[in-house]
Structure 1
Amino acid sequence: MTKELDNNNYAALIQTLKTEISQARIRAHLSVNKEMISLYWRIGSQILERQDNEGWGTKVIESISNDLRKEFPEMKGLSARNLVYMQTFAREFTDFEFTQQTAALIPWFHTCTILDKISDPKQRIWYIQKTIENGWSRNVLSIQIQSNLYARDGKSINNFKSTLPAAQSDLAQSIIKDPYNLEFLDIQGKIHERELEGKLIDHIRKFLLELGQGFAFIGNQYHIELEGEDYYLDLLF
């Protein structure tokens, strides 16, 4: 005779399976991200090597981009602009092992943001590690850099233990989906974009002052319909 289903045990099983599936998805996407980051580093390194050895100028980047996109038309990320980022990435992070073990744990555009906004090597590594530790999205990362979190909270970098981003973190979602100074929010540690949105609304008067004259706040998660599709604007001014 079949035993009756224990609802509590069943719910616990479903939760366990959901966690297993979510973590497996993240590991799979991290593996893909690691390969892409490694490829970008190797491309950047080879361009740098040719420039050093053969005196190539910057115009050759455009030619490389055009030839690669002809060969791989379906592949994104081969624009001249992105090739320059690869070149900068390889030049600034010379340790390939570091790129595989740490830098490859964040999406590429997170890395581009760090390369754009930070020049100090120690700070770059610190922000990468903090991004992984706290699961920051690129928007939150940008705000932390703009508010100079390193100066307010920075400590000497110790032995960093890489951990798999939590399935619900913005960083994990960024990996799966692959400029105003908001210093007055004083955001530190773990935060999701929806929490950030809430803090902006809580500080809406100060935020409007940051934007300047002529702005009005309409609402958050504002619904619009475009060609039959539903869209929700985080914040509408």
Structure 2
Amino acid sequence: MSSTREKQLDNIEYNALLLAVKERISEASTSAALAVNRELIFLYWHIGRTIHLKQRDEGWGTRIIERLAGDLKREIPDRKGFSAGNLNRMIQFYREYPALLTHSSGKNHAYLPEDSPQAVGKMETKRSADAISPQAVGKLEKTSGASSSGNESTISTMKDQKQASEAALVLHVPWGHNMLLISKVKDMKVRRWYMEQTVVNGWSRNVLSSMIESDAYERSGATLTNFDERLPEGQAALAKEVFRDEYSLDMVPDFGEAVKERDIERALIQQLERFLIELGIGFTFAGRQYHLELEGKDYYLDLLFFHTKLRCYIVIDLKIGEFIPEYAGKMNFYCNLVNERMREEYMEPTIGLILCQEKNKVVAKYALQGMREPIGVAEYKLNRRLPKTLTSDLPTVQQIEDKLNTSGV
């Protein structure tokens, strides 16, 4: 092996090590921050609940918010976060989650009703600090009952478990993230998915907002792969969690109809941080147009990554237009070559991901069946803006204003 190749491999493995250490440090910092965040969420929820009940039961109006904010600022000037705007958000937060999960004396009380003595009383300051396991989030225990009363008990238990799981997610998501989700995502099933992804991937509020705007939930379907047939069961399950059916490449500028694959590659590297966020946690960049030689011929991989959780190389091949079966054979060859020339003993088999603008699932499925290496096929969208033909049909702001003026509105 040439010294240049050894240097390339050393750099890739060092970058993977660096990313793994950074993730460990981040996890430790996150654990400490989560305990603080839980107490803050409970505090804001309790304040929101107290004001809500006063308004509901004693007829207090909205003016009390301004008065309370002013008095809090005078009484505790060193404490921030109690402006009138944030107090209103606390009320909104309580109304959104009126029975937030609490932990006291080692017992879980899922979704306490407003009139519950435990909810009305002083909230315990001691909380469970155990971190949520991403794999455990959203899983419900399956139980069965023979009688109708047993069935009702089972349904009640499942509801309690689901509510407890949702509440635990709320407590693990920072305040700003929670308010962003409340304002932008009304469907609780969709909101729950964004919470899970925030916890698992450590999304910042800006990243979360970007994911919502790009409809990440709608793009989260399973990638079409042959992983089950080509990877061990555990590795296949993890790989299917890593990849998804569609990727948003909004960071790529509009090159028009003449766009080439190399244009997209260059743009992705120029916006590498955003592209890595779109790919998900665990990806470390290894190279673009990565050069490999076989029998005197040169071969170039569009994009090469190493995944720290899968412990394998990932080859990404970008294609303009619709998927065709020949792409699978080419990717199979690339994965073989990387395994032969670059894979170390501790590494899992290389995975290939073919990114194309469109795919026929039946064609892709048949194309992958004959491949020996693990390969997935996913779509990408360069941008999600309105097409020009539709945009031209929409009224301008001036046209709307003129219409309103003439109608007397």
The TM-score bracket by the shorter chain reads: 0.5 to 0.7
In the TM superposition, residue 185 of structure 1 has moved relative to its aligned partner by: 2.3
More helix by share: 1
Paired residue for 1:195? 273
Distance in 1, matches of 2:184 and 2:23, equals 35
In the TM superposition, residue 199 of structure 1 has moved relative to its aligned partner by: 8.9
Q: Given the alignment, which residue of 57, 69, 74 partners 1:70?
A: 74
Q: Given the alignment, which residue of 96, 106, 109 partners 2:173?
A: 106
The alignment partner of 1:149 has SS state of: coil
Paired residue for 1:143? 210
Distance in 1, matches of 2:38 and 2:24, equals 21
Paired residue for 1:82? 86
Residues matched between the structures, number:
158
Q: Given the alignment, which residue of 195, 208, 229 partners 1:128?
A: 195
Paired residue for 2:52? 48
In the TM superposition, residue 48 of structure 1 has moved relative to its aligned partner by: 0.9
In the TM superposition, residue 198 of structure 1 has moved relative to its aligned partner by: 8.1
Paired residue for 2:131? none
Distance in 2, matches of 1:79 and 1:64, equals 9
Q: 1:22 to 1:140 in 2, by over 3 A?
A: closer
Distance in 1, matches of 2:187 and 2:250, equals 24
State the AA in 1 paired with 2:42.
Answer: S
The alignment partner of 2:65 has SS state of: helix
Paired residue for 1:160? none
In the TM superposition, residue 72 of structure 1 has moved relative to its aligned partner by: 1.5
For the Cα contact (< 8 Å) 1:50–1:56, is it kept in 2?
yes
Q: Deviations over 1:48-69 (max 9, x none)?
A: 1111101222221111111122
More strand by share: 2
TM-score normalised according to structure 2 size: 0.34
Paired residue for 1:166? none
Say what the alpha-carbon RMSD is for the aligned residues. 3.6
For the Cα contact (< 8 Å) 1:41–1:90, is it kept in 2?
yes
The alignment partner of 1:152 has SS state of: coil
In the TM superposition, residue 24 of structure 1 has moved relative to its aligned partner by: 3.8
For the Cα contact (< 8 Å) 2:249–2:275, is it kept in 1?
no
In the TM superposition, residue 123 of structure 1 has moved relative to its aligned partner by: 2.2
Paired residue for 2:250? 185
In the TM superposition, residue 147 of structure 1 has moved relative to its aligned partner by: 1.6
Distance in 1, matches of 2:88 and 2:199, equals 25
Q: Deviations over 1:130-182 (max 9, x none)?
A: 21122111111101111222233279xxxxxxxxxxxxxxxxxxxxxxxxxxx
In the TM superposition, residue 107 of structure 1 has moved relative to its aligned partner by: 1.6
In the TM superposition, residue 71 of structure 1 has moved relative to its aligned partner by: 1.7
For the Cα contact (< 8 Å) 2:38–2:171, is it kept in 1?
yes
